[in-house]
Structure 1
Amino acid sequence: MLEGAGLRLRAACGRNGLSAHKTEGDGATPLGVLPLSRILFRADRCETPHCAVPVEPIAPNDGWCDDPADPAYNRQIRLPYAARHETLWRDDGLYDVVGVLGWNREPVIPGRGSAIFLHVATPDYAPTAGCIALPLPELRRILAAGLTAIRVVV
């Protein structure tokens, strides 16, 4: 479950459940309060989200480094990129609206987990690799309600 903006919502979480001790690649979603720092979105597919945090369009060459051995670990990067990474410009629509959550951000600790996002869920709420996902209408609704942090709860 996800709590934020005064709401408690069903959300898709990591394929290996929730964890108080998140590590890179464990497939778990970190428990606790995660601040929302900014929103990324596909301007070619949807309108600019209304929200209380900065909003930026993404481009086909945007990515996120998830290689703990790389200096850019858990940071947005430009593609092509030599180290292991995620592509933010996806064909499946899951990253049409992406909230960058404050997991392992300040300071970034290699191996503690990266790319924990709030993003669009699949219609069947399929598990994620560790992110939190909601249907697009719900995601837009909580962003418009002034969401600045979420709490992942059991």
Structure 2
Amino acid sequence: MRKIPPKPRPSPGTITVRAAPGNRCRALVSFAGRTEQAAIGRGGMTARKREGDGATPIAAMPLIDGYVRADRTVPPATRLFLKRTRGDMLWCDAPDHACYNRPVSAPFAGRHETMMRSDGLYDVCLVMDWNMRVRRRNGGSAIFFHLIRPGYQPTEGCIAVSLPAMRRILAFARKGTLVKVLG
């Protein structure tokens, strides 16, 4: 009897982020034959990411999951797991706290970001594995792929795109899709 080998798993794909010419806070995001405009950290890109430096880390970061504000936007079609954002969802960015660079719930006394923001930046927010599996104190936290401010204003270190671009990215993405930020 001949054994049939299992079908190979399809690659989760790659999203490439390169600096845009002429502006260190802008980038070009490429995936599936497309290129989209993006904003990156006010500190540009760095290979030595530190908490609070405002820079986007030069790294290969797999997508883990994400958040969606279902009360403000229709959840996009994706193979990536998206949690519905609630008002008590926070993200710890206090380097000395045991929950550093982890989701936490309100009330929370340590320094944190609110996931249900009034400015809409996290209406769709993807979590990348930056400083998460193996955390380094002050290594940077809350490095997300999220929605853009008007005028493509710089981020605090995240990658930000328009809602239409995010919908196209989500149609492509799944857990493990690699986001490669190239310096």
3-state SS of paired residue (1:36):
strand
1:140 aligns with 2:167: yes
Q: 1:41-87: CA deviations, max 9, x gaps?
A: 10101112222221110101111000000000000010121000001
Whether 1:128 aligns to 2:155 is: yes
* Aligned equivalent of 2:36: 9
CA distance in 2, matches of 1:81, 1:8: 39
**1:108-119 alignment, distance < 5 Å:** 108-119=135-146
Partner in structure 2 of residue 149 of structure 1: 178
Q: What residue ranges of structure 1 are gaps of 5+ in the alignment?
A: none
Match of 1:57 among 84, 90, 94: 84
| SS of structure 1 residue aligned to 2:39 | coil
Which amino acid letter does the alignment assign opposite residue 150 of structure 1? V
Contact 1:51 1:146 in 2 (8 A): yes
Q: Distance in 2 between matches of 1:145 and 1:126?
A: 25
Identify the residue that residue 111 of structure 2 maps to in structure 1.
84
Across the two proteins, how many residue pairs are aligned to each other? 154
Distance change in 2, residues 1:71/1:5 (3 Å): farther
Matches within 5 A, 1:14-29: 14-29=41-56
Letter in 1 for 2:108: Y
1:110, distance to aligned residue in structure 2 (A): 1.2
Q: Which has the larger radius of gyration?
A: 2
Q: Which has the higher contact order (CA 8 A, sep 6+)?
A: 1
TM-score by length of 2: 0.80
Task: Name segments (4+ residues, structure 1) moved above 6 Å.
Answer: none
The offset of 1:6, in angstroms, is: 4.3
Q: TM-score, normalised by structure 1?
A: 0.94
> Cα offset for 1:34?
1.4
Root mean square deviation of aligned Cα? 1.3
1:42 aligned residue? 69
Paired letter, 1:51: T
Q: Does 1:95 align with 2:122?
A: yes
Contact 1:4 1:150 (C-alpha < 8 Å) held by counterparts: no
Is 1:68 the counterpart of 2:95 in the alignment? yes
**Native 8 Å contact 1:3 1:152 kept in 2:** no
